[in-house]
Structure 1
Amino acid sequence: MKTQMLTQMLLLAPFLLVSLASGAHAQADRNDGNQELVIAHRVVEWQTKHFDDQTKAKQHSETLTRLGAEVRMDQHEGHIDVTYRSPSWRPLRVESDTLAHQWQEWLRASGFETIHGHSPDHDEHAHHEGHDHEQGDAASDGDIVLYRAPAWGAQHFDQPGKADEFVILTQALRCQIETTGHAGHTDIRFVCPQWTAVEFPNHKVAEAWIKWLESAGFEVKHEDYHDH
């Protein structure tokens, strides 16, 4: 029911999404109190979902297409296979924390990796409508990592695609960002002064992202809640 509701929301109200596939630099310098929340998402390997209902298969395919994924549909023996991938990080922009968590659950259920920063006081919204923590909280199977970058940091990129992905990820981590271009290069400055939380589906994924955060210049706190 939740998946169908979210699919219909996207099909009927595409204005919920802003700059899904491109324009990361154009959005990077926005830093006001009404800025949309960003969910960075990707699915590197091809995924396939099987449907018996043609309408549901079409809705799923159209949703994935709007998210910028490569999609193909195949029908066999009365079933429909929707196969898709989206190997580069893309931004999904929403206007509320509730929508952010609903979409994060939908994306993860569809096989996507997701990055979405939120307040460390997560219990305040952990059980609001549409966010039941099926994945990614310390009480179930996920790990929570706290991070901040209290002083301005900088990254230099020679490849525009890598710069775009870094912008998307730091936006999803709720950082303030400034970008400048010169002689074919891109410099990205970022700051994230408050401790912020990000959830990962398991310890292995969390450890990999801790290395990424530290290499980018973030301070990190990680409490291991589980035996691994």
Structure 2
Amino acid sequence: MFKPILVAALLTALSGGVALAQSPTSSAIPAAEGGKHHLAFRMQNWKTVHMHDAEQAKQHVETLKALGCEVKTAQHDGHIDVQARTTIWKLLALDSQGQVEQWQAWFAQAGFDSLHGHPPLENPAPVAGQAHAEVVQYRSIDWKVAHLPNVQDSSQRTILYRALGCETKSDQHSGHFDVSARCPDWMEIELPNHQAAHAWQDFLNKAGFETKHNH
């Protein structure tokens, strides 16, 4: 299922500068901090992959653990079951759009959800083998503030805003957390289906963004 060369390249990237980004707790963060491209990912439910090659299974487990996933393995009936999940959004800080696309393909193949915002494309590429891309465009010229009750919700919202390519800032006061974001220029995300596109458009609308849905 997973190409050994691709998995090895991703492991090399992790050890050579690709990093899990830390969610900031205060101050303003520019949309493209340090020239990095941010990609959020999660897999809320356990996903099982059946693998017959021990070395490929080992590489897959190492990749999942490096990404901060919970991982379980079992061997039976001549193959290896690799189970993984990460119930909260995590963030990769990548050096190029090419790396983003490589990781997006890997995440889709492995059963993860992923999120990456970028300036509008004339011909958006299909997502994970879909015949066409469902595209949601969004912007917010002014800062939009989300009032959140705890650190985890604040961290998760910050990760999503950074993956969407927004400027972010956060603050804590009066027993709650404020996470602010703005994207003065139009940005877009590609989604695998109509349902996912509507869900993200609804999230962005509720957060105060202008949105457009192209399909």
Q: TM-score, normalised by structure 1?
A: 0.85
Q: Deviations over 1:106-128 (max 9, x none)?
A: 001111111101221254xx6xx
Q: 1:170 aligns with which of 134, 143, 161?
A: 161
Q: Which of the two has greater strand per residue?
A: 2
Q: 1:111 to 1:89 in 2, by over 3 A?
A: same
Q: Report the counterpart of residue 142 of structure 2 in structure 1.
A: 151
Counterpart residue number, 2:69: 69
Q: Give 3-state SS (helix, strand or coil) of 1:117's partner.
A: coil
For the residues of structure 2 that align with 1:85 and 1:143, how far apart are their CA atoms?
A: 25
Corresponding residue SS for 1:34:
helix
Say which SS state the counterpart of residue 202 (structure 2) adopts. Answer: helix
Aligned residues of 1:136 and 1:200 also touching (Cα < 8 A): no
Structure 1 residue corresponding to 2:128, chosen from 135, 138, 142: 135
Counterpart of 2:111 in structure 1 is 111
Is the Cα contact below 8 Å between 1:136 and 1:202 reproduced in 2?
A: no
Paired position in structure 2 for 1:29: 28
Q: Shift of the alpha carbon at 1:7?
A: 1.8
Which structure 2 residue ranges, 5 or more long, are not aligned? none
3-state secondary structure, aligned to 2:35 = coil
Does residue 19 in structure 1 map to residue 20 in structure 2?
A: yes
Structure 2 matches for 1:30-69, cutoff 5 A? 30-31=29-30, 34-69=34-69
Please state how far the C-alpha of 1:43 moved relative to its aligned partner: 0.6
CA contact (8 A) 2:26 2:170 kept: no
Identity percentage over the alignment?
Answer: 35
For residues 28 and 94 of structure 1, the distance between their equivalents in structure 2, rounded to whole angstroms, comes to 22
After superposition, what is the alpha-carbon deviation per residue over 1:176-197, rounded to whole angstroms, capped at 9, x for unaligned? 0111122442111111011111
Any gaps of 5 or more consecutive residues in structure 1?
A: 127-131
Work out whether 1:10 is the aligned partner of 2:10.
yes
Tell me the distance in 2 between the aligned counterparts of 1:15 and 1:98: 16
Give the 3-state SS of the residue equivalent to 1:148 in structure 2: strand
3-state SS, counterpart of residue 29 of structure 2: coil
What TM-score does the superposition give when structure 2 sets the normalisation length? 0.90
Distance in 1 of aligned mates of 2:159 and 2:33: 18
Aligned Cα RMSD in Å?
2.2
Which whole-Å CA distance do the structure 2 matches of 1:2 and 1:57 have between them?
A: 9
Residue by residue, what CA displacement relative to the aligned partner does 1:130-171 show, whole Å, maximum 9, x if unpaired? Answer: xx745277xx24301111111111111111111111000000
Structure 1: which 4+ aligned runs deviate by more than 4 Å? none
Partners of 2:2 and 2:69 lie apart in 1 by: 21
